[in-house]
Chains A and B, each alone.
Chain A
Amino acid sequence: MSRTILEVMNLKKHYRQRAGILSAVRWRERVIPAVDGVSFYLKEHETLGLVGESGCGKTTIGRTILRLTPATSGRIVFDGHDITAMSARELRPLRRQMQMIFQDLDAALNPKMRVRDLLREAITVHHRLSDDEVGRKTGELLEQVNLKKSKLSSFPRELSGGEKRRVGIARTLAVGAHFIVADEPTSALDVSIQAQVVNLLRDLQRQLGLSYLFISHDLEVVQLVSHKVAVMYLGKIVEMGLADRIAGAARHPYTQILWSALVDRKSAEASRALPTTRRGAWGVFDFERPVRGCRFAPRCPVYEANGRPAVCTDAATEPELRDLGGGHYVACHFPLW
């Protein structure tokens, strides 16, 4: 039984935003609950896929776990250490074990540094090594991520997308991380390069025993790389379970809609049979309006089909994640089938 490397308990991240033109005069803020009470755990050597539409808070979770932004409340336990309120100094040694692959290919690499310096920096940040050792380690890393040695003297802007991604991955490995938050690691890449990177990430997991929190909106890739998947909707996890169960036997209407959109693109005919969301409420989530009950209710076909039951929109009975057995959790009053 592998041990739990990351545990997140009731994590909340609320952003404050001044509201209106007169905000400078009248001190009124609105609170945007980007992440609103999320709990999950990740075992060693495991990949947890985090999916959801843009704005659902999945990237915020990744950033909060790595303490790039402080959590509003809740607890993050990494490898037995509660890191929720650790100081930057205390956190630094732990940084060696937890790393991040950033979505933005260009932005995560200092544009004025050559690949060699980017790697050297990552290698030496936690270890004092001689030049020989750094050189050896650099060679090792290049081999691991399958990058040509000739690229060492290049600047990031001279690299192609795939190469930039490889350098980014090499940097996380250089530190010696065994837990990696991969924030949309393939979305900025071309199809043929995406496949290379996905294979690379899986290879590395096998060889080095890495654990990934894999954040993506590409459902197929998530299903492919993840052991478990958590589906987020507006700051909450609505369903969580084994990847294939989530993809093939979703219990939450939102999950089903999400995956049916994929099937929809695969074949034009298959789409007719599946439920579609109600149009009409298809807007951005209105944060000014307090959440009442289930967040998905305004878009939910099941809510509609059941004649708009009051329990779905009752503020007192917001659905919580329930265990349906077999590690499958769903937050819905009327789970499918």
Chain B
Amino acid sequence: MTGAPLLEIENLRTYFYARSKQAFIRAVDGVTLSIARGETLGVVGESGSGKSVTALSITGLVSAGPGVISGTIAFRADGVEHNLLQDLEQYVRLKERDGRIVEVSKDEPGWRKAVERLMAPVRGKEIAMIFQSPKSALNPFARVGDQITEAIRLHTRAKNPGEAKERALHWLERVKIDSPRLRFDNHPYGLSGGMCQRAVIAMALASEPSLLIADEPTTGLDATIQSEIVGLLAELKAEFGIATLLISHDIRAISRLADNVAVMYGGTVVEHGPAPDVLAPGFAPKHPYTTALLASIPSVQNVRDKGYLTVVEGEVPDAVDLPRGCRFYARCNRVTDDIRDKCAHHEPELKEVTPGHHVRCWLSAE
């Protein structure tokens, strides 16, 4: 990997506000990530770990308040560096007490206007998104082909309708939708879930983005379709090498597609490193959460012996009341007496343990 990364997120914080509790929901709380050109970064984590909100924050699509409140997102495409949160801090005032944010004042209309200005040259064109439910990502009243054609005319140099249509058909063929010419004229309701997802992928790729964000692209699809979509993504990756941020809770899909993996827990990244290292069951320098997560997937051995599944006791921390120390401390089974105090009261840094492999744990920090 040479040169500066394509996307660099630093200390991103995206908060929501629970009116009925008068408290912040700290959905994303200090996320640092980077994706190199051509890299597929898999983000794994359970629901509420902040992975989807991270994706929405990158594309400026967080609409509920307070939303993104601090951090930097650097995006380098076409030789231009965009800071996707440039000068936005002027719209936000934060009040902290004991190192925690207790009040956010945000000029929301001003912020939104500024975000739209910053996002206009990027969203859809340089950064394309694939969402979890393909049916809701397509306009139900427009023909599938027209929607792709529209994206092409909007984002690429193919402005001429005939040319754009040819491109759209080309992309439908590329995602291996069957009888593309027929599907071009279909409305989304005539397509099965798998075909819709293919169409959405075609639409995302059609604008020739530098970064593809795929948020749970296989969730909700049937098992056989899931493996086909994963297969398709793998082929497209081999062919085009588009940098991809792949968000999924399906660790198998991630392990098949990702070069690097970031494990999220409680709104932050607890481990980040090369996929084989992070996802291999026996690899040593690893966050206890990653270990536990991998162990809780039924293994071939489990299934054969009808044995018990290894479980992570307890529940995911509530984003309203994140612990002050290590976020995994309450469920961790590897705490030793030497570090117990640190685990309980101080959050560890994301520290490089081997080249390119970062772990946020006091065990590794020693």
Contact present between A and B (CB < 8 A): yes
Residues in chain A within 8 A of chain B (CB atoms):
53-54, 160-163, 190-196, 198-199, 202, 217, 219-221, 223-224, 244, 247, 257-258, 261-262, 264-266, 268, 271, 277, 279-280, 282-284
Please determine whether A258 and B312 come into contact, CB atoms closer than 8 angstroms. no
Give A221's nearest chain B residue, CB to CB: B298
CA distance A139 to B251 in the complex (A): 37
CA distance A271 to B300 in the complex (A): 17
Please determine whether B308 and A199 come into contact, CB atoms closer than 8 angstroms. yes
> Smallest distance from the beta carbon of B7 to chain A beta carbons, Å?
26
User: Which residues of B178-231 are within 8 A (CB) of A?
Assistant: 178-179, 192-195, 222-227, 230-231
Please determine whether A163 and B297 come into contact, CB atoms closer than 8 angstroms. no
* A284 in contact with B311 given A190-B249, A195-B296 (CB within 8 Å): no
Task: Please name all residues of chain B whose beta carbon is closer than 8 Å to the beta carbon of A221 when the two chains form the complex.
Answer: 298
Can you spell out 30 A-B residue pairs with CB atoms less than 8 angstroms apart? A160-B315, A160-B316, A163-B315, A192-B293, A194-B296, A195-B298, A195-B310, A196-B312, A198-B298, A199-B309, A224-B303, A224-B309, A244-B304, A258-B223, A258-B224, A261-B223, A261-B224, A261-B227, A262-B227, A264-B230, A265-B226, A265-B250, A265-B252, A265-B253, A271-B227, A280-B178, A280-B179, A282-B178, A283-B195, A284-B192
CA distance A244 to B312 in the complex (A): 27
B47 within 8 Å of A (CB atoms): yes
* A279 in contact with B178 given A192-B296, A195-B310, A261-B224 (CB within 8 Å): yes
* A190 in contact with B47 given A53-B222, A268-B234 (CB within 8 Å): yes
B93 within 8 Å of A (CB atoms): no
Over the window 220-260 of chain B, the binary record of Cβ atoms lying under 8 Å from chain A Cβ atoms (1 yes, 0 no) is 00111111001100100000000000000111110010000
CA distance A7 to B156 in the complex (A): 61
Please determine whether A224 and B47 come into contact, CB atoms closer than 8 angstroms. no
Interface core residue of A190, A199, A221, A277 (most chain B CB under 10 Å): A190
B332 within 8 Å of A (CB atoms): no
Please determine whether A53 and B251 come into contact, CB atoms closer than 8 angstroms. no
* Other-chain residue from A195, A244, A262 in contact with B311 (beta carbon distance below 8 A): A195
Task: Please name all residues of chain B whose beta carbon is closer than 8 Å to the beta carbon of A202 when the two chains form the complex.
Answer: 308
B46 within 8 Å of A (CB atoms): yes
B157 within 8 Å of A (CB atoms): no
Q: How many residues of B contact A (CB 8 A)?
A: 43
Give B219's nearest chain A residue, CB to CB: A187
Give A284's nearest chain B residue, CB to CB: B192
Give A267's nearest chain B residue, CB to CB: B256
CA distance A53 to B216 in the complex (A): 19
B302 within 8 Å of A (CB atoms): yes
Task: Please name all residues of chain A whose beta carbon is closer than 8 Å to the beta carbon of B251 when the two chains form the complex.
Answer: 191
Task: Please name all residues of chain A whose beta carbon is closer than 8 Å to the beta carbon of B300 when the two chains form the complex.
Answer: 266
B306 within 8 Å of A (CB atoms): yes
* Other-chain residue from B192, B223, B231, B303 in contact with A217 (beta carbon distance below 8 A): B223
Task: Please name all residues of chain B whose beta carbon is closer than 8 Å to the beta carbon of A192 when the two chains form the complex.
Answer: 46, 292-293, 296, 311-312
Please determine whether B316 and A282 come into contact, CB atoms closer than 8 angstroms. no
CA distance A161 to B46 in the complex (A): 11
Please determine whether B311 and A223 come into contact, CB atoms closer than 8 angstroms. no
Please determine whether B176 and A261 come into contact, CB atoms closer than 8 angstroms. no
CA distance A138 to B329 in the complex (A): 30
Please determine whether B296 and A266 come into contact, CB atoms closer than 8 angstroms. no
CA distance A193 to B234 in the complex (A): 29
Please determine whether B315 and A195 come into contact, CB atoms closer than 8 angstroms. no
> Smallest distance from the beta carbon of B191 to chain A beta carbons, Å?
8
Task: Please name all residues of chain A whose beta carbon is closer than 8 Å to the beta carbon of B309 when the two chains form the complex.
Answer: 195, 198-199, 224
* A193 in contact with B315 given A224-B306, A279-B178 (CB within 8 Å): yes
* A196 in contact with B311 given A53-B222, A190-B316, A265-B252 (CB within 8 Å): yes
* Other-chain residue from A162, A247, A266 in contact with B252 (beta carbon distance below 8 A): A266
> Smallest distance from the beta carbon of B246 to chain A beta carbons, Å?
14
Task: Please name all residues of chain A whose beta carbon is closer than 8 Å to the beta carbon of B302 when the two chains form the complex.
Answer: 224
CA distance A217 to B224 in the complex (A): 10
* Other-chain residue from B231, B252, B292 in contact with A271 (beta carbon distance below 8 A): B231
Across the A-B interface, give the 7 residue pairs with the lowest CB-CB distance, nearest first: A190-B46, A195-B309, A53-B222, A195-B296, A192-B312, A265-B252, A261-B227
20 further A-B contacts with Cβ under 8 Å, apart from A261-B224, A265-B250, are A53-B225, A54-B193, A160-B318, A161-B47, A190-B249, A191-B249, A191-B293, A194-B296, A195-B309, A195-B311, A199-B308, A199-B309, A217-B223, A258-B223, A261-B227, A265-B252, A268-B256, A282-B195, A283-B178, A284-B192
